[in-house]
Structures are given as structure tokens and as C-alpha cells.
Amino acid sequence: MMTEWVHARTGIDIHPGAKIGESFFIDHGTGVVIGETCVIGDQVKIYHGVTLGARSTSGGQQLRQIKRHPTIEDGVTIYPGATILGGETTIGKGSTIGGNVFLLHSVPERSLVYYEEGAVLVKPKNQSGIGGADGGQMFNYVI
């Protein structure tokens, strides 16, 4: 009941079963959805329209005790409109997920994930936290 009251006033939908770490920040929260079995680490920033959801709702109550939502490790930033789905999906520590990215698979620590010209790209970050001038080496990785 409290969740519905908060959702009606903020546009943010966080299931009470989600596990959320310290210093969690939602900016312009309208449209944020965080599922029941989601695990969010410390110092995570999420922007509006982000969905941390399940891949499927078929199976109903049989899935009740199964992890269906992603794990977001410490220090991750997720920009507006990103959708990250699945209980086996982990976003590695210190990663940045760009706006409007759709992920069904895990990404390594300190990755920069973004959408460009019809493809989702995953690159390692440089020391400053941003892709290098040459963009770094691409992971041999399909999303």
C-alpha cells in the first residue's frame, strides 16, 4: 500500500523486496522501476526512465523465490531510459550505462556501455572513468 502511495506521488516504482545499498541516488525519478529481486550496491546513480526488471513474468508464483532482476554493483551510473533485465545480469562495479541502452547480459567492471548507430557497444573505461581518445579496446562481446 505504501509503495502505491509513493509511486502515485513520485512516479518511482521500487518493489519493497529490492535490496538497495548506501548512497543510492535517483535523479528526476519519474518512470524508474526497480524489481523485487534487484540488488543495488553502494553509491549507485540512476536517472529517469530506468527499468531494472525481469525478462519474463510467465510462471507467476513459481518464480517467487527465484532471482529475476539484475544486480547493480557499487559505483554504477545508469543514464535515462536504460533497461536492464534478468536475474543473471550483473552490471560490474564502476560501470556507466548510457541512455536508452537495452541489456539482457552482464557487463564487466569499469565498462562504458552505450548505443551508437544501431548497436550497443561495451568498452573498458580509462583511468578517468571515461572511454579513452581511441575509445579503448572493444571487448569480444555480443549484447
pLDDT digits (tens, 9 = 90+) for 76-122: 999 999 999 999 999 999 999 999 999 999 999 999 999 888 788 89
Supply the pTM of this predicted model.
0.82
Give Dmax (Cα) for the chain: 50
Question: What residue spans of the chain are helical by DSSP H?
Answer: 2-10
Domains, in order of start, for the chain: 9-124 (2.160.10.10)
pLDDT band at 56 (very low <50, low <70, confident <90, very high): confident
Looking at per-residue pLDDT, the higher value among 57 and 104 belongs to 104
Burial of 96 (0-12, 13-18, 19+ CB in 10 A): buried
| Cα(113)–Cα(1) distance, integer angstroms | 36
Contact 106, 87 (CB under 8 A): no
Identify the DSSP state of 105: S
Tell me the CA distances in angstroms from 95 to 6, 68, 73, 75, 112, one per residue in order.
29, 21, 8, 7, 6
Per-residue model confidence (pLDDT) at position 10? 80
Per-residue model confidence (pLDDT) at position 115? 86
Residue 135 has pLDDT above 70, yes or no: no
Per-residue model confidence (pLDDT) at position 141? 42
Per-residue model confidence (pLDDT) at position 66? 86
